[in-house]
Amino acid sequence: MIRAFLAIELPAALRVGLAQVQEELKKSRADVRWVAPGNIHLTLKFFGNVPDDEIEALAQAAREAAAETAPLQLQATSTGAFPSPNAPRVVWLGLGGDIIPLTQLFYRLEKAFAALGYPPEGRAFNPHLTLGRVKSPANRERLARLLAKLPPVDWPPFEVKELILFQSVLSPQGSKYTPLKVIPLG
């Protein structure tokens, strides 16, 4: 079994900015498990544990869905939180740019994977980069105030030319992601 997910990898320059945003939010001293900047990506589908012999079928389904989407331009926008900025549980950075074609790609992927027995997410697609997960109420109000005050980021857009099917290996030191398949767009 392979713990797998499909995602968009981020450029190194963007990771530097993500780390800076995290450092700013850490000033709240909220009890947050921050995602290592090197592990932040735009997840399109988390599969969980997949039998080894199904990886190629997932990659092929992704290839067929991705072939209909031209390369995308995405851009980081501003911070937010689920379920709401006033009660943060997941802290994220939003994305803008080619969101309509990205959303269309997402739903094509969901349909293709559903045909292979991987049910759709069950909630609307909201493209974001997870920065951290709140572990307890400690200083959560302070984090919410900091989120409200942070200005939108003004970083250059980045081009997305491929999707990556990753293997995720969990360890006490954190998750380690290994690319299994690279799926080109267009």
CA atoms within 13 A on the CB side of 177: 20
Catalytic residue among 108, 128, 140, 181: 128
Catalytic residue list contains 116 = no
**Nearest-5° angle of CA 109, CA 38, CA 43?**
15
Catalytic residue among 2, 37, 41, 165: 41
> What's 40-91 look like in SS3?
CCEEEEEEEEECHHHHHHHHHHHHHHHCCCCCEEEEEEEEEEEEECCEEEEE
| Sign, CA torsion 139/88/76/38 | positive
**How is residue 154 annotated by DSSP?**
-
Catalytic residue list contains 128 = yes
**Catalytic residue annotation:** 41, 128
